[in-house]
Amino acid sequence: MTKQIVSTSAANFIKLFLLSFIFISCSSTQKNNTVNNEGQNTSSEAKPLGDFDKQGHRGCRGLMPENTIPAMLNAIGLGVTTLEMDISISKDKKLFLSHEAFLNHEITTKPDGGFIDEKEEKSFNMYQMNYADIIKYDVGMKPHPRFPEQQKMKAAKPLLSDVFKAVKEYMMTAKRPFPFYNIETKCLPETDNKFHPAPAEFVELLMKVIKENEMEDYVIIQSFDFRTLQYLHKNYPKIKTAMLVEADNKSSFRKQIKDIGFTPDIYSPESTLVIPGLIKDCHDLNMKIIPWTVNDKKKIDEFKKMGVDGIITDFPNLFNE
């Protein structure tokens, strides 16, 4: 009887030991796999905007043709956290990158190799042109009169969906976190249904592309036309918004916020408007303040010391100097 009890106890001890060993081994393997998976994460999940948001204006307009895929990819290579861009809409309702709703004389080369005169540029209304015709015009070869450092290359105005895809492919290959997209709706009340759709249609067309590409968590919609921001806030409240403010806006900060009817995520003023009091006013309302367009390294450093939350610049290489 005593010998049997001892044998049974020994057997139970061995079983318990083996079970403990298996459990520890499995836990260790699971932990290692988790660590490895985290190390390999190429960021399909959106991260919050960081402490300082480095935004490349129109990609990197000072260095490469504005609002083109090469400009966006180059800006990412320079370390931007957000790609700033503009959206226009064609006659066949395609959303593409363009600062103007017409073919700008400064950057456009005609299909026959000629240039567009400033006096006639607005007659090249892209809202009255199909996208297939728009891309026949080159926007990368003509020397830019205000950005002599800009690298010249053949380029067309890209679809927003193609920008999303190109950036995603680049980031997956580079195994880096995805950037944000600060997208400006190019519209004004006086040009509704002439150079672009009215705000509701504009936003719905934009949101359709954003949702199709699963970019809701990565986009910020900015505008000088607060009607689009108001529509977004009402119908898509989870989408981040940024109100753009020019230096000639004579309304007080408080009146601007009152007029828009809600507190956007970001207040984005022309850089000459930035003073310590404005920064405090924004932070008191839990709004980030990100001025535009700052192309001087000394000024960028000055604004950072003042406490702005980011900078929009044509020269994102300045962030690395």
Domain assignment present for 261: yes
Domain assignment present for 227: yes
* Number of independent structural domains in the chain: 1
At 47, phi and psi to the nearest 5?
-95, 155
179-227 pLDDT per residue, tens = 999 999 999 999 999 999 999 999 999 999 999 999 999 999 999 999 9
Percentage of residues of the chain with pLDDT beyond 90: 83
Token pair belonging to 152: 């010249």
Domain assignment present for 3: no
CATH no. for residue 249?
Answer: 3.20.20.190
Start-to-end CA distance of the chain, whole Å, equals: 84
Q: How far apart are CA 137 and CA 129, in angstroms?
A: 12
Domain assignment present for 22: no
pLDDT at 135 over 90: yes
When pLDDT is cut at 50, 70 and 90, the band that residue 4 belongs to is: very low
Q: What is the pLDDT of the chain when averaged over all its residues?
A: 89
List strand residue ranges (DSSP E) for 47-195, in order. 53-56, 82-89, 95-97, 180-185
What is residue 202's predicted lDDT score, i.e. its pLDDT?
98
pLDDT at 161 over 60: yes
Q: How far is CA 298 from the centre of its chain?
A: 24
Nearest Cα residue to 60 out of 78, 39, 87, 41 = 78
Specify the length of the chain in residues. 321
Query: Is 2 exposed, middle or buried, given 0-12, 13-18 or 19+ CB atoms closer than 10 A?
Result: exposed
Domain assignment present for 11: no
pTM assigned to the model: 0.86
Domain assignment present for 44: no
Domain assignment present for 20: no
Token pair belonging to 32: 């290692």
Domain assignment present for 183: yes
List strand residue ranges (DSSP E) for the chain, in order. 53-56, 82-89, 95-97, 180-185, 219-223, 240-245, 266-269, 288-289, 310-313
Nearest Cα residue to 42 out of 174, 219, 167, 210 = 174
What is residue 26's predicted lDDT score, i.e. its pLDDT?
42
pLDDT average, residue stretch 156-175: 96
Nearest Cα residue to 75 out of 90, 86, 65, 89 = 65
When pLDDT is cut at 50, 70 and 90, the band that residue 49 belongs to is: low
100-131 pLDDT per residue, tens = 999 999 999 999 999 999 999 999 999 999 99
Q: How far apart are CA 142 and CA 153, in angstroms?
A: 9
Long-range contacts of 105-110 (CB under 8 A, 24+ apart): 106/142, 106/144, 106/145, 106/146, 107/65, 107/66, 107/139, 107/140, 107/142, 107/144, 108/137, 108/138, 108/139, 108/142, 109/137, 109/138, 109/139, 109/141, 109/142, 110/137
Alpha-carbon Rg for the chain, nearest whole angstrom, is 26
What is residue 47's predicted lDDT score, i.e. its pLDDT?
62
Q: Work out whether the CA dihedral 74, 78, 80, 86 comes out positive or negative.
A: negative
| Amino acid (one-letter) located at 45 | E
64-80 pLDDT per residue, tens = 999 999 999 999 999 99
pLDDT at 171 over 90: yes
63 contact partners, CB below 8 Å, separation of at least 6: 71, 74, 149, 150, 151, 314, 315, 316, 317
259-285 pLDDT per residue, tens = 999 999 999 999 999 999 999 999 999
- Domain residues for the domain of 216 are 53-320
pLDDT at 31 over 90: no
246-262 pLDDT per residue, tens = 999 999 999 999 999 99
When pLDDT is cut at 50, 70 and 90, the band that residue 50 belongs to is: low
Pick left, alpha or beta for residue 93 (phi over 0 → left; psi -120 to 50 → alpha; otherwise beta): left
For residue 182, list its beta bridge partners.
Answer: 84, 220
What is residue 51's predicted lDDT score, i.e. its pLDDT?
82
What is residue 176's predicted lDDT score, i.e. its pLDDT?
86
- Strand pairing category for 82-89 and 95-97: antiparallel
pLDDT at 58 over 80: yes
